[in-house]
């Protein structure tokens, strides 16, 4: 499962760079309307994905492969959709609400799959 670990870490760095650029833009322009978008890119994209990367690097071999793949796929599909929806919502486009809702539910599903994978992996460690 080192492949999933590396892939999570790679995407974490991409989201981290994007979120930092948005933070810098917010700071320089003094326009903080996209603060929630910045906060979620940083905390889901950079922090959470990096944590998932560390988890799969150290414990990935104890997790059923299909669970890790399912977690990765659901997380990687839902976050970009959530970011676009948050961006549009905070830019004053309320019609993006359902898109944010669907992305959130898929991200929650990915997190529950991660929870199952982590519990199986950690239990097998005794």
Binding site for ligand HEM (CB under 6 A): 20, 23-24, 26-27, 32, 35-36, 38-40, 42-44, 46-48, 82, 100, 104, 107
- Rounded Cα–Cα distance for residues 30 and 59 (Å): 43
Which one, of 20, 52, 25, 55, lies nearest residue 39 by Cα? Answer: 20
Q: What are phi and psi of 72, to 5 degrees?
A: -60, -50
Q: Which two tokens stand for residue 91?
A: 């830019």
CB of 118 to ligand HEM, least distance (A): 15
Q: Which is nearer to ligand HEM, 3 or 91 (CB)?
A: 91
Q: Which is nearer to ligand HEM, 43 or 119 (CB)?
A: 43
Cα 1–chain centre separation: 18
CB of 31 to ligand HEM, least distance (A): 9
Residue nearest to ligand HEM (CB): 23
On whether the CB atoms of residues 69 and 61 are closer than 8 A, the answer is no
CB of 53 to ligand HEM, least distance (A): 15
């Amino acid at each position: 499962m080192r492949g999933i670990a590396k892939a999570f870490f790679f995407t974490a760095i991409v989201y981290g760079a994007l979120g930092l650029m948005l933070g810098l833009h917010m700071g320089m322009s003094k326009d903080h309307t996209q603060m929630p978008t910045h906060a979620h890119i940083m905390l889901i994209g950079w922090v959470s994905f990096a944590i998932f990367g560390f988890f799969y690097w150290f414990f990935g071999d104890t997790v059923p492969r299909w669970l890790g793949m399912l977690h990765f796929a659901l997380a990687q599909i839902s976050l970009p959709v959530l970011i676009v929806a948050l961006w549009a919502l905070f830019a004053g486009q309320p019609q993006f609400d359902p898109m944010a809702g669907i992305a959130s539910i898929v991200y929650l599903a990915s997190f529950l799959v991660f929870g199952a994978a982590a519990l199986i992996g950690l239990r097998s460690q005794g």
